[in-house]
Amino acid sequence: MDLRSLRYFVSAAEQGSITAAADQCHVAQPSISNAIAQLESEFGLRLFSRGKKGVALTPDGQIFLSEANRLLTSARQMEARFKATSKTPLHLGIHSQLASHDSGYLLQVVAKTLGDYRLDVQVSPAQAPDLWLTSARLCPTEYRFIPLLDQEYRLLAPTAWPIAKPVRMEDVLVYPWIDRLDCELRDHFLDLVPMLAERTQLKVDTEDLAVSLVRHRQGVTAMAVSDDIEDQWPDLQCLPLGDVMPEPFRIRRLGVALHPKTDPDVARLLGR
C-alpha cells in the first residue's frame, strides 16, 4: 500500500467513476484501475461494485474510504510540519514547435506531478535541460520519452469555407496554403502533395500563428491537434486526413523527455 494508491482510490470513490478519477489525477485510466486492484488484493476486500454508470463503494469500501482519508490527512499534516521549504530545481525546456495551448497543458500535468520540485522553464534552452516537453519524433536520442498526450493531424480551415468530406487534397488546393516551417512532418506533406508549394500563400514558424491566420481566413493548413480544438475555436473546422496521410504519420505523441542524469525519483513520480 502507498499513499498514491490511496489517493487514486479516494478520487474514484468521490467521483464514482474510474474515468473521472483519471482526469482528476491527470493519469491514464489503467493507473487508477491497477491501484484499486492492488489494494483489493492486498487487503482481501472488494472495494467497489462496478456498473454501467460507474463504480460504487461496497460496505467494506465505505469503511476503507474513511480510513484512507484519515491516513491521507495525517500524511498531509506530517508533510506540512516536517518537510523542508526549499525545493530541488529542475531545468525544463519546451520545444518551440509546441503550441502554447499544448505546452501549457503538459506543463500543468508535469508541475502537479512534480510538486516537490521547482521547475525552471525555458523555451528552446541553449543548454541541455533535465526535462523536455516535446514530441516523440523530436525527442533527443539520449533522452527517455514518456508520452502524456496523443494528437491527430487534421486539416484546419475556417468554418465558412466549404470542404467536402472525406478530405481530398484537390479540393483543399483551391484555397491558399499556410506553410508551417516548424511542422515536424513538413517535408512529408510536401512530398505527398507537391502542389502545396505552389499554393503556399504564407510561411510561418509557430503553431499559434498558423492557427491565428486560419481563424482570420488567410488560408488552410495541417496540424496535429487535440480533440478540444473546436471547443476552443468554434470558428475553425478540423477535418480528418485519414484518406490523405498514412496511419503511422497521422498521430503525434507529446510528452516529457528525461535526461539520463535526471534524478531517478522524477521518473518514478512520472510513472516510469
Report the CATH number at residue 199.
3.40.190.10
Question: Which residue has better confidence, 243 or 170?
Answer: 170
**Nearest to residue 152, comparing CAs of 253, 230, 232?**
253
> What confidence category does residue 52 fall into, taking pLDDT thresholds of 50, 70 and 90?
confident
Same domain for 156 and 226? Answer: yes
Output the pLDDT for position 57. Answer: 93
208: Cβ–Cβ under 8 A, 6 or more apart, which residues? 99, 100
Chain-centre distance of CA 38, in angstroms? Answer: 26
Shared domain check, 178 and 141: no
Residues 247 and 260 in one domain: no
Confidence of residue 165 (pLDDT cuts 50, 70, 90): confident
Q: How many domains does the chain have?
A: 3
Average pLDDT over residues 226-244: 81
189 lies in the same domain as 213: yes
State the CATH number of the domain containing residue 57.
Answer: 1.10.10.10
Averaged pLDDT score across all residues of the chain: 87
The pLDDT score that the predictor gives to residue 68 is 93
Q: Is the peptide bond before 166 cis (omega within 30 degrees of 0)?
A: yes
What does the block give as the cell for 5? 494508491
The pTM score is 0.61
Angle between helices 29-43 and 18-25 (to 10 degrees): 110
Residues 6+ apart with CB under 8 A from 74: none
Domain extent for 185: 150-251
Same domain, 225 and 99: no
